[in-house]
A and B are shown apart, each in its own frame.
Chain A
């Protein structure tokens, strides 16, 4: 790695003692010698293991659940169903007033994705819990499922989630989050060229070294200590408090040393049901995702579809950009309404464009619920934007890097969401990339600066 101190030297005092120093990490020796304690290193006498019975169907009505055989299985201590969960229908962003509550801790009457938790089994060993889970009999009436966002948005599509009433999240702005800036149609009308393209992505896994999980210990004072690898301690505690209808003062969360998150540990999935298990049995409970659960049950990055329509001039200026973004939330909201909205705040990318129209939709399908991931709401948008930029440049025979200089935002430029640009540095990054990659650009681009307002 090289630090290029010649850029922005006038904005920086390099007079610090501890900051800017490559100090060795104090936790590294523990990590690399195996001495660091993670949540799963907690082991308590009498600890129970929790395993989930999961839906084999993408969309189905539950006619009945028979747990009698599972309860008789040797080593089984408790079997939990929806009726055991005090506040079974929840949504995590209710803490920042993004409702409605739309997801069940344990399925109640219906499953909406393949893998949804239906029954929780607590047993003396992981093996006993797994074997007993296989003995739970659930009678399903399979319903038509929808896996494609366009299909889900068509009239007559199967309704994925009754708590929403339609297959998209309803923002205060309507069926999508909107950004309107300038007059996009007038921009298209005056453009030399127009290009509309569609980009898509698949869900991907966070792939942390340490799978999601927690260990819960009931304390002598009627409190519960939850050792967890959540990325957000109070966010998880407060949601657990709502789901369990238990005062937050009864809950003590301990964490903060995590084997990778990447956004995969911000859903509140394992802690509430494990605490409930500990409360109802009076025994410590461990609920740790297998690698298979981590990869196929925990939320992936959403599948996205991005349609970009650009109007641009022969000289390289983009004069109008219309973006329609679709985020596949899967069956439940989790963080997806926020992610789609974050996308609306991100488009049209780091470029100054006078006419912009943005619609971002959060769509429900019967896919695995997606949620936050590194680059949430932005990564796929950047893929779409930057491939589109390459196409536009080539369409008018311009160098793709020079094309970006022409459109790059600079300090003072008004963004589509009506904030003036501050602290821009795109131009300098591109100048340095031109040098580092030996990708020559015209001198006039090398003498540009983010400090001066664009044309």
Chain B
């Protein structure tokens, strides 16, 4: 009896959004009288940080610092339609809608600034710090604060924009299955290293090295929190979780976090995250949706590592100590 070490690899891709169901999201953007910007949506922030990302996208597009943008979301009386936050679609769909709305608002903002500065709007640029400058003559400038005041009280303009993003629904062809499930895919390759105790069947995941290709890391810190969390969830799915531990008997399913097995902090592997960025053709600043796929490759990587360690295949999830021990016994020729 011994502790045996093994490693396994898995490589995957994952579609962004739900093209097979129809997938629209809308956004509205407007300025306040003092040149802050409101983004109005009905999208849901599940805790992954959607509000922050929409603020950064709007800020980038209009050309102001992110702290000048407030996101008001998920009130059906005020927010325009969003299909929902699922299918790795939130950033991609709502982000594109926000960009379109912000571009329209930016255009009005530049037109008002042009009137104030007596130049053409096409000769203006933003400095990203809250000012609008004449290209090539930056001493000639106006603050966005003053532009907003002018628009509201002098010029009678609404600095606002409407955004809509829709990929037309794809209907699978009946006989061939020809379809377009997605316009962009995120990618991953994970290497898991495990130790398996061949006496108890217990698996310890030592390291989880994940490479994710996600289009563009819009906010690297938030990307990291999502990808690390996903990697942990993958370990949990591979080794621990089931709502029916005695299936086909449906009794004794976990009803709280004492009974429903998930890894605790001490059970989590040393986790490495490496991010590659191949911008998607239709993503907001090239982003794809990594929210779901980041929890997938760890599962087969762990299964393959267990095989590498002890030479048995567990093809049924979760990979419990009981399943490993039964397989080891079968391999040794002993009755189960």
Contacts and interface: CB of A to CB of B under 8 A. Distances in A.
Given A23-B52, A27-B51, A96-B22, A426 B42 contact: no
Interface size bucket, B side? 35 or more
A418 B178 contact: yes
A20 B316 contact: no
B33 interface: no
A17 B65 CA distance: 8
Contacts of A20: 216-220
Contacts of A346: 15, 181
A201 B63 CA distance: 48
Given A295-B254, A382-B296, A387-B315, A416 B243 contact: no
A443 interface: no
B276 A428 contact: yes
Nearest to B317: A201
Contacts of A19: 56-57, 60, 216, 218-219, 285
Interface in A250-275: 251-263, 265-266
Contact of A233 (B42, B169, B243): B42
B173 to A, nearest CB: 8
Interface in A14-73: 16-27, 31, 58
A177 interface: yes
B304 A387 contact: yes
B276 A368 contact: no
Given A378-B292, A433-B190, A235 B83 contact: yes
A338 B45 contact: no
A232 B44 contact: yes
Contacts of B303: 383, 386-387, 390
A375 interface: yes
Contact of A386 (B12, B180, B256, B281): B12
Given A197-B315, A202-B247, A433 B174 contact: no
A442 interface: no
A204 B242 contact: yes
B269 interface: no
A433 B9 contact: yes
Question: Could you say which of A4, A17, A177, A300 has the most chain B C-beta atoms within 10 Å of its C-beta?
Answer: A17
A31 B128 CA distance: 29
B274 A26 contact: no
A148 interface: yes
Interface string A359-376: 000000001100010111
Contacts of B20: 338, 341-342, 345
Interface in B16-47: 18, 20-22, 42-47
A177 B65 CA distance: 48
Interface stretch (A158-166, A178-186, A313-321): A178-186
B9 A296 contact: no
A203 B243 contact: yes
A404 interface: yes
B233 interface: yes
Contacts of B291: 374
Interface stretch (B72-80, B114-122, B133-141): B72-80
Nearest to B8: A390
Interface string B306-327: 0100000101111000000000
A439 B193 CA distance: 12
Interface string A386-418: 110111000000001100100011000000111
Interface stretch (A5-13, A81-89, A118-126, A132-140): A5-13
A404 B11 contact: yes
A14 to B, nearest CB: 9
Interface in B58-85: 59-60, 63, 65-67, 73-77, 79, 81-85
B46 A383 contact: no
B171 to A, nearest CB: 8
Nearest to A300: B243
A111 to B, nearest CB: 14
B216 A358 contact: no
Contact of B227 (A1, A255, A432): A1
Contact of B317 (A368, A376, A383): A383
A53 B82 CA distance: 34
A5 B278 CA distance: 10
Interface string A101-126: 00000000000001000000000000
A231 B44 contact: yes
A130 B176 CA distance: 52
B256 A292 contact: yes
A1 B220 contact: yes
Nearest to B65: A18
Contact of B172 (A148, A344, A391, A428): A344
Nearest to A298: B243
> Which of A12, A203, A375, A426 has the most B CB atoms < 10 Å from its CB?
A375
A22 B227 CA distance: 15
B278 to A, nearest CB: 4
Interface string B269-300: 00011111111110001100001110111011
30 contacts: A2-B273, A3-B277, A11-B278, A16-B285, A23-B56, A27-B45, A147-B248, A173-B177, A179-B172, A202-B242, A204-B242, A231-B44, A231-B84, A233-B42, A233-B43, A233-B82, A255-B44, A296-B255, A378-B292, A378-B293, A383-B300, A385-B12, A386-B304, A404-B11, A409-B13, A417-B178, A423-B280, A433-B191, A436-B191, A436-B272
Given A350-B13, A418-B179, 8 more contacts: A17-B128, A27-B52, A114-B250, A173-B172, A203-B243, A204-B243, A231-B44, A386-B303
10 nearest CB pairs, A to B? A256-B74, A232-B84, A179-B177, A386-B300, A345-B181, A437-B191, A202-B242, A425-B213, A22-B221, A386-B10
